[in-house]
Amino acid sequence: MSAKRFILNETSYHGSGAIAAIVDEAKSRGFRKALIVTCADLVQFGVVGKVTALLDAAALPYEIYDKVLPNPTVAIVQGGVEAFKAAGADYMIAIGGGSPQDTAKGIGIIINNPEFADVVSLEGLSPTKNKSVPVIAVATTAGTAAETTINYVVTDEAKRRKFVCVDPHDIPVVAVVDPDMMSSMPRGLTAATGMDALTHAIEGYTTLAAWELADTLNLKAVEIIARSLRKAVENDPEGRADMALGQYMTGMAFSNVGLGVVHGMAHPLSAFYGTPHGVANAVLLPYVMEYNADYTGDKFREIARVMGVPGVDAMSPAEFRKAAIDAVVQLSKDVKIPQTLREIGVLESDLEALTDAAMADVCTGGNPRPCKREEILAVYQKAFG
């Protein structure tokens, strides 16, 4: 049996007030000047200010690159590379959800591997030689877990596609998972990013490369998310804290074992329509679970169990698989996630092109059921409604 690799942050901080550790980390590592990578909204609403206030008090210099948009593009990453150089920075603090985190990873990799300045050549298993510029990653959403993964996603606007980069050199050196930084998330974003985390956990638990260490983290993450997402959407502090932990746990796991065709099908939705990634995953998850059900052994029984379904040990495989899917659908409905692609603006005329893009996505290869084009098209058609 070949060796199994598990890559994690050097250090992570968790809990209310964890952002205070940023100052000590920057000082102890001898960092001189930060480029803060974020989006304009997080600056406007004072979220970034929670971190810059700490840096100001400690006399730690920084500049801010706040040009990140949802589903960051090649041009946004390249703009960040230029901002990093112009600032004379030697490390980054990425503040935000998946988009700022992914942008910072791309910037950091290109600074230390300038032969990949076109960004698109980083697609897939990125053949870089040098570690990224150091990144302190501060999560503001409980969903993507980009602060602890070796993956990042960039949109190629010219070709209307998203591509995934997988690179052990890009993982942030420090992750800060502070639920206080997530308290300003609106209900819809909390729901979508939470369902994104659930998708990570279920796909990571059932992907072809799954094994016991990752399974332990992913299954516990399903349990935490199932019990806490409804409360987090209501801005309950305990629910927020639980979701922050649950999404990080599955991030630790899926980063090392991969995902499946939910993500393979979701990425094109963001590239075609700008659909928020969490919404795309949330809509597709039950339909893909149904598609994969017969290829998942007893794992759907354990998913149903930790999601609170009673009596699973007395159920047949068909029954516990349906119970797991039903539990996911109910959670999705409870947090007001749309149930069909039609509801989120997908065009039926695009389903063929979406299928082609999904079949080419790097995540699709990890799916437990081998994916055939006509079958994935049928899943899209069923999800369309």
Query: For the segment 281-303, what is each residue's pLDDT rounded down to a tens digit?
Result: 999 999 999 999 999 999 999 99
pLDDT digits (tens, 9 = 90+) for 47-98: 999 999 999 999 999 999 999 999 899 999 999 999 999 999 999 999 999 9
pLDDT digits 0-9 by tens, 108-166: 999 999 999 999 999 999 999 999 999 999 999 988 899 999 999 999 988 888 898 99
Q: Which residues contact 300 (CB under 8 A, 6 or more apart)?
A: 289, 293, 317, 320, 321, 323, 324, 325
pLDDT value of position 226: 98
List domains and CATH numbers for the chain: 11-182 (3.40.50.1970), 187-384 (1.20.1090.10)
Residue 1 pLDDT: 58
Residues 6+ apart with CB under 8 A from 265: 280, 284, 288, 354, 358, 361, 364, 376, 379, 380
Neighbours of 373 (CB within 10 A): 12
DSSP-assigned beta bridge partners for residue 94: 37, 137
Q: What is the mean pLDDT of the chain?
A: 96
Mean pLDDT of 37-52: 96
Our measurement of the distance from residue 270's CA atom to the centroid of its chain's CA atoms, rounded to an integer in Å, reads 13
Q: What is the pLDDT of residues 307-321, one digit of tens each?
A: 999 999 999 999 999
